[in-house]
């Protein structure tokens, strides 16, 4: 190798070493400057950052503690199923109330005699009994209570006036509808009875709804009386099965 070539290589090595040394110095100076800048950061800036973090944390806590509004509760209830439970509970309560109402409607009320008189003809739906007016034997779907004209006729049970009419054969009639599908009918009343109550009136047991008369042509030959009938769900019933009926024989025995 010539001396000229060796000289060039030496110069190149020296240049490279100088560049590396300068780079190292530059890196050291830059790092020292950044560190010094960080150490000299204003206290106000540090406090502001810390305060911002504190405020953010407190706000989050207050939000968690804040009372829930109706909208939030409604959303949560829907998510957790509470709304469904409430609706089901309401439906169950309504169903129970309806069932109770049906039970009450199915229970027959307490009955009592419509007049204070004794029974002069019993109920007989199978064995025909003699009719002095018609002079024949026929069934008798009611009980005849002896009563002079003008004797008060009372509701046999709590109910509602459902019909008032003047029947060609049974005279003035008043019908009451009761709980349990019961209907009571009072026949042979006085004409004044048509104005004592009105259809739709609610009456209580023992309340006067008319007075005894002599308007029943088909029983005109009988002793003056009130013809009383009772049906349950459309089926004729013996009134004596629902309240005490006093007969002539009962008075004789006493």
Secondary structure (DSSP) of 171-213: EEEEEEE-GGGEEEEEEEE-GGGGGTS-TT-EE-TT-EEEEB-
**Residues 137, 60 share a domain:** no
**Residues 174, 93 share a domain:** no
**Residues 86, 26 share a domain:** no
Instruction: Look up residue 116 and give its DSSP letter.
Output: S
Q: Does 111 fall in a domain?
A: no
Q: Does 181 fall in a domain?
A: yes
Q: Which of 130, 160, 124, 159 lies closest to 143 in space, CA to CA?
A: 124
**Residues 125, 248 share a domain:** yes
- Rg (the chain; Cα; Å): 53
Tokens of 250: 């009962």
**Residues 96, 29 share a domain:** no
- How far apart CA 81 and CA 85 sit, in angstroms, is 6
Q: Does 70 fall in a domain?
A: no
**Segment 107-155, tens digit of pLDDT:** 999 999 999 989 999 999 999 999 998 889 999 999 999 999 999 999 9
Q: Which of 125, 181, 193 lies closest to 155 in space, CA to CA?
A: 193
**Residues 99, 163 share a domain:** no
Alpha carbons within 13 angstroms on the beta-carbon side of residue 225 total 20
CATH number at residue 203: 2.70.70.10
Instruction: Look up residue 254 and give its DSSP letter.
Output: -
Average pLDDT over residues 34-48: 50
**Residues 203, 136 share a domain:** yes
Bigger pLDDT: 242 or 44? 242
* Distances 69 to 60, 62, 73, 208, 231 between C-alpha atoms, Å: 17, 15, 6, 60, 59
Residue range of the domain that includes 18: 3-65
The residue to which tokens 């003008």 are assigned: 150
- How far apart CA 81 and CA 162 sit, in angstroms, is 49
Q: Does 114 fall in a domain?
A: no
Pinpoint the alpha helices (H) of 66-195.
70-80, 82-106
**Residues 163, 199 share a domain:** yes
**Residues 170, 88 share a domain:** no
Q: Does 233 fall in a domain?
A: yes
Number of domains in the chain: 3
Q: Does 60 fall in a domain?
A: yes
**Residues 14, 47 share a domain:** yes
Q: Does 113 fall in a domain?
A: no
Q: Does 143 fall in a domain?
A: yes
Tokens of 236: 């004729």
**Residues 155, 126 share a domain:** yes
Bigger pLDDT: 224 or 117? 224
Indicate whether 226 pLDDT > 80: yes
- Calculate the average pLDDT of the chain: 80
User: Whole-model pTM?
Assistant: 0.60
**Residues 197, 171 share a domain:** yes
- How far apart CA 132 and CA 129 sit, in angstroms, is 10
**Segment 157-191, tens digit of pLDDT:** 999 999 999 999 999 999 999 999 999 999 999 99
What does the pLDDT read at residue 164?
98
């Amino acid at each position: 190798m010539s001396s000229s070539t060796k000289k060039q290589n030496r110069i190149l090595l020296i240049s490279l070493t100088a560049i590396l040394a300068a780079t190292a110095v530059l890196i050291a100076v830059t790092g020292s400057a950044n560190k010094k800048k960080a150490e000299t950061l204003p206290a106000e800036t540090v406090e502001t950052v810390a305060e911002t973090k504190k405020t953010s944390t407190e706000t989050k806590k207050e939000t968690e503690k804040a009372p829930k509004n109706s909208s939030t509760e409604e959303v949560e209830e829907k998510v957790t199923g509470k709304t469904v439970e409430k609706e089901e509970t309401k439906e169950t309560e309504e169903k129970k109330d309806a069932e109770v109402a049906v039970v009450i409607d199915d229970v027959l009320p307490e009955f009592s005699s419509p007049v204070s008189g004794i029974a002069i003809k019993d109920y007989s739906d199978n064995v025909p009994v003699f009719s002095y007016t018609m002079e024949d034997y026929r069934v008798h779907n009611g009980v005849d209570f002896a009563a002079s004209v003008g004797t008060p006729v009372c509701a046999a049970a709590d109910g509602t006036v459902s019909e008032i009419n003047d029947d060609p054969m049974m005279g003035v009639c008043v019908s009451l509808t009761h709980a349990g599908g019961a209907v009571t009918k009072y026949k042979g009343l006085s004409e004044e009875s048509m104005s004592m109550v009105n259809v739709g009136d609610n009456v209580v047991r023992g309340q006067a709804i008319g007075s005894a008369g002599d308007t029943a042509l088909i029983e005109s030959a009988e002793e003056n009386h009130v013809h009383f009938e009772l049906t349950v769900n459309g089926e004729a019933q013996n009134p004596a099965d629902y309240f005490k009926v006093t007969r002539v024989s009962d008075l004789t025995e006493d």
